[in-house]
Every structure is written in C-alpha cells, then in structure tokens.
Amino acid sequence: MKKHHTCVCLLTHTALQLHTHPDMSNAPLDPPLQTTKSVSPNRTEAALQLLTQYETLLAFLKSHGALLNGVKPEMLLESEDFGRVLSQRTSAAATADDEVELEQWALLEASFDAVSAQAWNALLSQLFKVFVLSRVTIRSMRLLPGGPRCT
C-alpha cells in the first residue's frame, strides 16, 4: 500500500510541477489534486482511499487531454488491494446490475497483473504526452542544434 501511495504523490507532484512551469498556463487545476494526509490502518479502507486518489488522478489527466478512457482506477491497484475492493463491493452489491459489473471485474482478476501493467504503461505514456510533448513546438525543434533550418 505504501508503494502505491508514494507513487500517487510522485505523479501528483510531477504533474503540478509541469503544470506550473513558466512556459505553461498557471490556470487553476481542475479537478484539484490532493493527496490523503494519512492512510487508514484498515487495509480495505486504505485500498478505497487509494482508489479515490486514482480516480482523481485520472480525472485530472483526462481534463488536460490524456486519452485514458480504457484505464479504470481499479486497474492501477495492486492485486491484493484489487481483491479487497472487489470483495467489499461484492458484499455491498444491491442490484442485478451491480452483480453483472462485479462478474466482469471477477473475470479480469485472472489476468490482473497484465492488465495492471498495461494500465500503468498507458498512464505514464499519457502523462508524458500531456505534460512534456505538448511543450514541443515547431519553433523549438528548429532551434535544436543540427536540426533543419527551413524558412
């Protein structure tokens, strides 16, 4: 759990630093990125807190142009935390629609490690695209040494 909490803090810090860089707009962040001040000692509650942080992180990146529609916050959890969230949702399932959704997540559990790796790969790639590649312009490319000098 601690590893993922640190990862969220690192991604949040990186996104905030890149967003407030002098070359970028200093518009207010929407939605605001905040990290949980303390992680619950209860592992299920801690997994739910982490899930909420991932939802906020994905919403923030999507609001800045990241293409992460295929990434769900549950996919970013560790396998054990995913199991805790799934069992908590199973016990709280009230309708048939909830049960159908839980069955789909249960099918994912068998290949969870591969799906999680793909989700993290997509998240980091989109983070790079949104906050680094968006700063590259034709003018900056022309100013690189050894680059083409087209007029």
pLDDT tens, 47-102?
999 999 999 999 999 999 999 999 999 999 999 999 898 888 888 777 777 778 78
DSSP state at residue 21: S
Find where tokens 């805790």 sit: 84
Q: What's the pLDDT at 103?
A: 83
CA distances from 93 to 72, 83, 97, 137 (A): 19, 15, 9, 50
User: Which of the four pLDDT bands, split at 50, 70 and 90, describes residue 22?
Assistant: very low
Mean pLDDT of 28-32: 48
Q: What's the pLDDT at 149?
A: 64
Whether this prediction's pTM lies above 0.75 is answered by no
CA angle at residue 148 from 147 to 151, to 5 degrees?
A: 135
DSSP state at residue 109: H
Give CA–CA dist 55/132, Å, rounded. Answer: 22
CA angle at residue 16 from 12 to 19, to 5 degrees?
A: 140
Find where tokens 């996919």 sit: 75
User: Which of the four pLDDT bands, split at 50, 70 and 90, describes residue 1?
Assistant: low
- Encoded tokens for 104: 């789909």
Give CA–CA dist 147/145, Å, rounded. Answer: 5
- Encoded tokens for 56: 């906020």
Alpha helices for 20-146 (secondary structure H): 43-63, 79-92, 96-109, 112-131, 138-142
Q: Report whether pLDDT(29) > 50.
A: no
